[in-house]
Structure 1
């Protein structure tokens, strides 16, 4: 156990995993999650070229939340309706990316679980709609298209992407 003086280092109180265990964990994490900016980039490229993005985006929130703002081209399928509607409106051959409000909400996780239990390939979009809007990506509301400036705490101001 690492100490600083006589105090236990809270970061290293539990030692890091072995490199092999860390590689397995982080590899698995990438299989389950998609980044907001990656989703936006692929969707923008698909719109520009007319290509298929290779996945469908599902907004799992309520109708009131959907109306307030949603990812352009997303399908509205609230989590509670997945068991009765998913197989009718989605193609199991097409991977699904779920989102809800943001990192403080686990609605997209519950939706991803429900879809996986029905046999869909699924990823969760990290950050949800909150980070979609905060990173400055255009969205749709019941009144029409909307967009806000990127929050400099979540997205680079003078660069195309964060470089990660």
Structure 2
């Protein structure tokens, strides 16, 4: 492959990734805006959801998607999906299901693991069934260190 062809292939590759992937920082910023333009779906099982999930997400495991999505969401709804983390392809599988149903979808890379490790808001289900704050402290290996308690973004 010549130089021009390699550059064209690289542009196509990275443009496609950006079209179908987003990251936890961008999802958090969109949710904080109050009008994210998408529905955030946690695709994991009930036990994982109960242990902790992104605040503002909807729990919708993959097996339920073919019946629930068309019944609960109108045409034109955009989705962002996540699963456990980078070592899990559950969100990728969910993205395939959702796109086959005719909806736009992006995968939140890093999944719940990086959401939690970057100190984003996490809820869990308490013993009484109520949502409880389960936010983790920022992991300095995955996110910039806050300065004087302020949230710092990597500004990617």
- In which range does the TM-score fall when normalised by the shorter chain? 0.7 to 0.9
Secondary structure of 2:98's counterpart equals helix
What's the offset of the Cα at 1:158? 3.2
> Runs of 5+ in structure 2 lacking a partner?
127-131
Q: Structure 2 CA distance, aligned partners of 1:91 and 1:97? A: 15
Give the alignment of 1:47-86 within 5 angstroms. 52-86=35-69
Q: Which residue is equivalent to 1:39?
A: 27
> Runs of 5+ in structure 1 lacking a partner?
1-14, 47-51
| TM-score where L is the length of structure 1 | 0.83
Is residue 2:22 matched to residue 1:30? no
The structure that has the greater radius of gyration is: 1
Q: Structure 1 CA distance, aligned partners of 2:97 and 2:10? A: 27
Q: Which residue is equivalent to 1:151?
A: 139
- Runs of at least 4 residues off by over 2 Å: none
Aligned length: 144
Q: Structure 1 CA distance, aligned partners of 2:26 and 2:74? A: 22
| TM-score where L is the length of structure 2 | 0.87
